[in-house]
Amino acid sequence: MLGAIRSEFRKYFTTRMWWGMAIAVFLVSALFAGLFGFLMTMDQSGVPPEQQMAGSPEQVANSVYTAGLSVAYLLTLAVGVMQIGSEYRHKTITSTFLGVPRRATVMGAKVISLLAIGAMYGVISLLGSVGVGALVLSARGAEVFPAAGVARTLALSLLVLGLWALIGLGAGILIPNQVAALLIAIGVAWIVEPLAGVALTFWDWGQDVAQFLPSAATQAMVSGVTGGPNGGGTQLEWWGGALVLIGYAALLAGIGSWRTVRADIS
């Protein structure tokens, strides 16, 4: 297993994609943290009540430090898709299974390596978001680390990026065409699923369903500021959001791995 894991890391870190993604994650996290830092600490006296943001100092800090997470997890989702999609596209999956005949070992190595790669991008994201976000909050007179819950949110953001990479792995296996898998996975995660979540909130029963969608579960994990005086609808506890997102990652990566282990490889 250790050899297979080293092989997966070597496949990834010998390409230019890893540092390109690292730069993108850092810049996005820093940019959004700076922007949200200003927005979260602005004077809301002239803003209509229904448009005001409501949250404790802890939620404000969480929102600032994880503001770029929604873009960063799309990038790790793409990493997960390409980690298996490139194997199919360049037909290296055959040599991979010849090198390590036990397919379950190969898939286990991909899962472990993707979790570690996602966590690495999480650290890079925090370097950008906390570095810039703390400066903005301090300059605006807000508390930089108002509660211990902020540290928990920062740790969970590492898990978030790792789990979205596994969701990408499952999507990349279930949709063997790499380009199609990227377009569908990012399109669903970025556009379709958030719009479906908003549409569901128009019904009482829909709010109960919407909180279990992946993006809503991610938002619940980071415990950020909610919009509007009513708190922006029903939301899971942070641990509930973590369990839901782990469930999505386990389901998609599990089905994809099961299919890969049983499928004919030529």
Give whole-number Cα distances, 215 to 73, 121, 189, 228, in Å. Answer: 10, 18, 8, 19
Contact 122, 161 (CB under 8 A): yes
Average pLDDT over every residue of 177-190? 86
Strand partners, 54: 226
| Distance, CA of 237 to CA of 220 (rounded, Å) | 6
More confident position, 106 or 159: 159
Q: What is the pLDDT of residues 10-63, one digit of tens each?
A: 888 888 888 988 999 999 999 999 898 888 887 766 666 666 666 778 888 888
Question: How much of the chain, in percent, has pLDDT values that exceed 90?
Answer: 12
Question: Could you report the per-residue pLDDT of 97-142, keeping only the tens digit for each?
Answer: 777 778 788 888 888 988 899 899 999 999 999 989 889 888 888 7
**What are 206-228's pLDDT values in tens digits?**
778 888 888 888 888 876 666 54
pLDDT for 121:
92
Q: What's the pLDDT band for 229 if we cut at 50, 70, 90?
A: very low
Nearest Cα to Cα of residue 73 among 127, 28, 37: 28
Burial class (CB in 10 A: 0-12, 13-18, 19+), 10: exposed
Sequence ranges of the domains in the chain: 1-41+53-262
pTM of the prediction? Answer: 0.84
Give the pLDDT score at 233: 61
Please, is 226 exposed, middle or buried when counting C-beta atoms within 10 Å of its C-beta (0-12, 13-18, 19+)? middle
* Whether pLDDT at 200 is above 90: no
Dig out the tokens for 24 from the structure.
């993108």
Question: Residue 227: phi, psi to the nearest 5?
Answer: -95, 140
Residue among 170, 162, 168, 163 nearest 260 (CA): 170
> Where would I find the H helices in the chain?
2-13, 17-40, 57-65, 69-89, 93-99, 103-139, 149-174, 178-187, 193-200, 204-210, 214-222, 238-262
Task: Tell me the mean pLDDT in the region 180-193.
Answer: 87
Strands 226-227 vs 53-54: parallel, antiparallel or unpaired:
antiparallel
Residue 264 pLDDT greater than 90, yes or no: no
Determine the Cα–Cα distance for residues 35 and 40; give it in Å rounded to an integer.
Answer: 9
